[in-house]
Each structure stands twice: as structure tokens, then as C-alpha cells.
Amino acid sequence: MKTKIIIFLAALNLLLPKVNAQYAKLLDFTGVSNGKRIYGDVISDTIYHYGMTYQGGIHDSGTVFKIQPDGTGYLKLFDFGGGNGSYPHGSLYKEGSFLYGMTSSGGANNGGVIFKIKKDGTAFTKLHDFGTYNGAGNGFFPKGNLISDGTWLYGLTLQGGAASTGTLFKIKPDGSLFSVMIEFSGNTGANPQGSLYYDGTYLYGTTQLGGANASGTLFKIKTDATGYVKLYDFDDVPNGEMPFGSLISDGTYLYGMTLQGGTLIHGNGVIFKIKPDGSSYQLLKSFSGNADGATAFGSLILVGSSLYGFTSSGGPAQNGNIFKIQSDGTAYTQLYNFPASSASVGIIPNGTPLYENGYIYGTTSYGGSNGNGVLFKYGVSVGINEFGISNENISVYPNPSTDHLFIQSSEKIKTIKCSNYIGQTVDANFENNYIDISNLSEGIYFLNLITLEGSNIIQKFIKE
């Protein structure tokens, strides 16, 4: 037993490189050749990182690209323009050999499109044309990400619907059976942005505006469009307003951020957590601007017990930062402040961090050698304790694995949840101590194991 644990921990240690905390620019965006301005995230299949630029490319309407984690091997996969969509404002979703995404405009009605494309840049297919600003039953101007429950793709539009204040929709990956699940208005909220979070039963999301205080809402709904519940009304002071980005989960709490509000009127936004039933709202951090950042145009990620994110302004030079905070709201740390001089490093990070092999990866929408933004990485030292592997009576093997995992434990396991690197719950089939992961895409995942004795153990594994 001890031999297996030692081997497992040694193998895990190899997956967590000892790196110095340092910033490195990986790519300068130039315009026509490789795009410019990113308002979204990069995603990973452990070999390449994939992303979209909002502008640039042949038609100056955005691109899809891939690049290796060390900054080499850049390849432009697609140029947007006109009927195929324009100005993607969000991130890609990877399933099998396809990447799925949305553009904020273009298409048949100039209201944006849903598309898919293979990871090698072939087989681009437009799956859906969004409607007009005030068109019921469709949606207009999507500015977020798609997610999947394995059968359907789900997403949000900022506008459109009967009240012109946004929709929640679902569609099959082949482009069939598009339907609107919610047309937001008034008390239910207005103008959602970002992506949804799925826990296996409910979809969770936020709206930027609307609700009882006109400051945004947090809601949940079942995938069959029943069971809608408004969980929380934001209130500007002190709990924040205009929630932006996406929610993530650690299995107990949902975590998110707002663009504005906080402890001061018209503040600089907050970090919060709340239970999935809408109870136990906690303000973890109120951004103060120059001192510690402001306006977080993105989402958090959870690495062990730490939350990481970007602010797009604030900090000493007012150009944003990379930060870290514990999930209980303690130990807020600015890891990196983007400087006033932007040519060498870029400024104004947007989107959500990607954690992989000891580095935080991200993008800036401005700065760099051409002023069009950059791709960057920032080294963080993450140890075994950061991932909560504090119980020597539990091990998971083989790791990495292609199709299955075994849990070896001297304690009884009560519940098991599997999540990806941004905290979204993913489907994995559990039977006794055997876990079927054959349906998962390649990447980094975490198992949250709750024992009958009350231990909460987080184990990291890699699906090859």
C-alpha cells in the first residue's frame, strides 16, 4: 500500500514542475496574419492551446488559432467574416475532434452564429444563425462560451428574445433542435454573459442586469427548461453588481465575480461564493482599484484550495493584474501587475486563466509589440498540499490514464465528483472504486473525494 502511494505521489510531483514565479510573453498579435484583440480564453488538449481573436485576420473580423504551450507552432485555423460570423467574443468548447464556438455578430441576420471546426482547421460548419435584437424565440449578440452535458450544447445571448434582454438556449452538436429555454426580462434578470455551469442536474448562470435591485441575478434551471429558480439578487453595495464571466464550483460552493459594486458605491467589483441552493452568500473580496485591481472581465479557476483570476484594470499602473486568493477569502495576493509600459508584456488581461503544468496561461487585449494584445504565461509554484492531497490512505492510479482509474483507499468513499481545470463538473462513470474516464477529452482533471469520516480529498489526474 505505502509503495503504491509513494509511486503515485512521486508521479504527481513530476506533473507539478518546480517553477519560479515569472512572466513570459509567448506571442504578439499582429493583425492580418494572426489576429488581434482577444476577449476570451485559451483552452487546452495538453498538446495545443486553442483560442479566438475578436479582430484581425483577412477580413479583420477575427480568427481561430492554435499554438503550443511554449509559444511555438502557431497556426491560424480560420478567418471569420460575413456569413460565417464575425467578432467572436468568448471561448471555444472542445468535444472530440471538434471545437465549438460563437461569434457576436455576422451570419445571416448579423446577430452572430454558432459554429464548429475541427482542431486541424478543416470542416468549418455554421450550426445556427442568431436572430435580431428584438426577435422572440432566438437570441442576438452572444458574448460567451458554450458548455455541454454530453447530449446538448447550452449557451447565453446578451440580447434578443421577447424583451430584447437576452436568452438561454440549447442546441444539438449537429446544429439541430435549437430551442430557447429562457427569455430574460425584468425580475428574472437581463443581459447574461459568460457561460453556464452544469452540476449534472441544474444549469447555473448569472445576468448582468435586472432582478429586484437592477444589479443582476444568479439563477439555476434544469436542462429540460423546468425548475427555474432565481437564487440571488445582487445589490451593488456591499455585495456587488453586474456579475460577469462564469460560475465555478468546488463541490460545495459556487464562486464568481462582479464587474462593479462592493463595499463602496460604484465600486470596482467583488469575488463571492454562494451555495447552489442560494444560501450562504459570502463576499470574499471587494476590489479597491489602484491598490489591488478592478473590473474582472473573466472567470475564476480553482487550483486546489486557491482561486486564480485576472483583473482588467486597477493595480499600480491601472492595467490589471494576475491574482490569487484562498477559497475562504483569505490571503489575497497580486501575483503580477501589468505595467504602464506595454510593448514588452501587453496590458489589460481579459478572460479566464488556464492552469497547466505549473503555469497560468492568459491573454491581454492590448499592448505587446503591435499594440494588439499578447499571449502570456506566468509560473506559479503549486505543491501537493495545494491540491489537498493530505490523506495518505487514498491513492488514484494509473496516472496519466487513457480509459480508467482505480481508487485505492482504506477509508469508505461517500461521494465522488470529477471536474475539469476550470471547476466545471464533467461526466465520469463511477462503480465502486473503478472510474470510467473513456468519454473524457484529453486534459487535466480533479477528483473530489468525500469520505464517510468527513475527509475532503482532491486528487489530480491526466486523461491522455
Residue 3, pLDDT > 80, answer no
Tell me: do 149 and 195 sit in the same domain.
Answer: yes
User: Which has more confidence, 363 or 458?
Assistant: 363
Last residue of a domain, one of 385, 404, 431: 385
Mean pLDDT of 379-397: 60
Residue-wise pLDDT for 150-171, tens only, equals: 999 999 999 999 999 999 999 9
Residue-wise pLDDT for 300-313, tens only, equals: 999 888 999 999 99
Does some domain include residue 11? no
Residue-wise pLDDT for 321-347, tens only, equals: 999 999 999 999 999 999 998 778 999
Tell me: do 159 and 236 sit in the same domain.
Answer: yes
Query: Percentage helix, strand, coil, to 5, in the chain?
Result: 5, 45, 50
Residue-wise pLDDT for 178-222, tens only, equals: 999 999 998 999 999 989 999 999 999 999 999 999 999 999 999
Does some domain include residue 6? no
Tell me: do 416 and 295 sit in the same domain.
Answer: no
Does some domain include residue 46? yes
Tell me: do 122 and 249 sit in the same domain.
Answer: yes
Please answer whether residues 156 and 168 qualify as being in contact, where contact means their C-beta atoms are separated by less than 8 angstroms. yes
Tell me: do 405 and 347 sit in the same domain.
Answer: no
Tell me: do 363 and 416 sit in the same domain.
Answer: no
Does some domain include residue 114? yes
User: Which has more confidence, 134 or 309?
Assistant: 309
Tell me: do 438 and 324 sit in the same domain.
Answer: no
Triad 195, 197, 199: Cα angle to 5°: 165
Sign of CA dihedral 101, 223, 250, 357: negative
Tell me which residue range forms the domain holding 415: 395-463
Tell me: do 27 and 149 sit in the same domain.
Answer: yes
Please answer whether residues 437 and 428 qualify as being in contact, where contact means their C-beta atoms are separated by less than 8 angstroms. yes
Residue-wise pLDDT for 245-291, tens only, equals: 999 998 899 999 999 999 987 799 999 999 999 999 999 999 999 88
Q: How many domains does the chain have?
A: 2
CATH code (residue 434):
2.60.40
Residue 10, pLDDT > 50, answer no
Last residue of a domain, one of 362, 385, 408: 385
Tell me: do 247 and 374 sit in the same domain.
Answer: yes
Does some domain include residue 12? no
Tell me: do 71 and 102 sit in the same domain.
Answer: yes
**Per-residue pLDDT band at 17 (split at 50, 70, 90):** very low
199: alpha, beta or left? (left if phi > 0; alpha if psi -120 to 50)? alpha
Tell me: do 358 and 420 sit in the same domain.
Answer: no
Last residue of a domain, one of 353, 385, 417: 385
